[in-house]
Structure 1
């Protein structure tokens, strides 16, 4: 499935959609191109830069720092939060990497800047072709859930931050909305698996 742009706007996909799914995909691509026209706006660039905190290197670093800080300061809850975040990130990273390696979907900026859109099984396993799913969103959701396990009072701000990180990926031309939704699902499932293997103390006591 390919699509080109003209003057920053998405042109109709050359091949007519053969199913409702393809028609929905075409509508999503065209809508994303309209939103991504603002990718160069200073506010979008700043928010996009801030969202990089959920990329793998900084996310794993922050989780590690939190765990070590908690251990050195004798704060077990902070240690647990750091470890839970690290574990959830590890599972989310493994899961999204498997999907990215098996599904090619060019990022919106490829269509916006180079007039190229491609979505198929297999293909290049490289950044510009790895739009699906959103790794930033997967990491943000996984961390938000992990933090809220240890600090329930932080649930609302943690999920608000995760939602903001996911939402900004579309106007910055890094992902399509369905990439963000899929990323959120990956993050949710990753943390759920960690929680199943590592239940909270109160749940352990209930089982006993």
Structure 2
């Protein structure tokens, strides 16, 4: 197994930084926060997006509908991006071995897919999409995403560098989604808002 002596300076620094906090992963506060952070996992995030869209449709809330669609789109892009990186990069998770090296590889084993953090990418992308449409609640959304991302280090599932990469992916995915959806989604919501009139010959 590769040790810190074999790792690059950046990888070794990442390991030392992460080790300062992930020694606490067996304590009950970290376990509790870690369990709560599972909301950032892919199925839960997709369910949250779908629930937002469903509530908007039932309540005929066009603003919330637009937000839910943007959340789902941003999360989809973030998921594609982080999965693309994981498919060509291997890194052992802190909880699975003392090896901070990032290397080319195509392993699909959970233990070797530490980089980047999918929880961080997904949570940030969804939070940013929500914050864009509900700026009054932006602080709460971003704080929740930050907690989901940050707790991955003390719980030992990711190095700090994995989380940072996931956060960058999340931000970029939301920006790309907004650029792609923006005008088309506004037209769709506007058309949905117009009252229906039967065709008159």
Give the shorter-chain TM-score range: 0.7 to 0.9
Does residue 1:97 correspond to 2:83, yes or no?
yes
C-alpha distance in 2 between matches for 1:105 and 1:38: 21
Which residue in 2 is equivalent to 1:52? 38
Provide the residue aligned with 2:109 in structure 1. 126
1:188 counterpart = 2:174: no
Partners of 1:110 and 1:117 within 8 A in 2: no
Q: Tell me how many residue pairs correspond in the alignment.
A: 186
Residues 175-206 of structure 1 show CA distances to partners (whole Å, capped at 9, x for unaligned) of 111111100110111111110012269x98xx
Q: Is the 8 A contact 2:11 2:101 kept in 1?
A: no
- Contact conserved, 1:141 with 1:159, CA < 8 A, in 2? yes
Question: Hey, what's the Cα distance between the residues in 2 that align with 1:129 and 1:36?
Answer: 17
Measure how far apart 1:116 and its partner are. Answer: 5.1
Q: 1:172 aligns with which of 149, 155, 172?
A: 155
The aligned residue for residue 6 of structure 1 is: none
Consecutive unaligned residues in structure 1, runs of 5 or more: 4-12
Partner of 2:198: none
Please, what is the CA RMSD of the aligned residues? Answer: 1.9
Measured in 2, the distance between the counterparts of 1:199 and 1:80 equals 10
Q: Secondary structure at the match of 1:197?
A: helix
Q: Distance in 2 between matches of 1:123 and 1:70?
A: 40
Instruction: Give the 3-state SS of the residue equivalent to 2:182 in structure 1.
Output: coil
Correspondence list, 1:66-145, <5 A: 66-111=52-97, 115=98, 118-145=101-128
Secondary structure of residue in 1 paired with 2:70? helix
Show CA shifts across 1:48-93 (max 9, x none). Answer: 1111101000100110011011101111111111111111111100
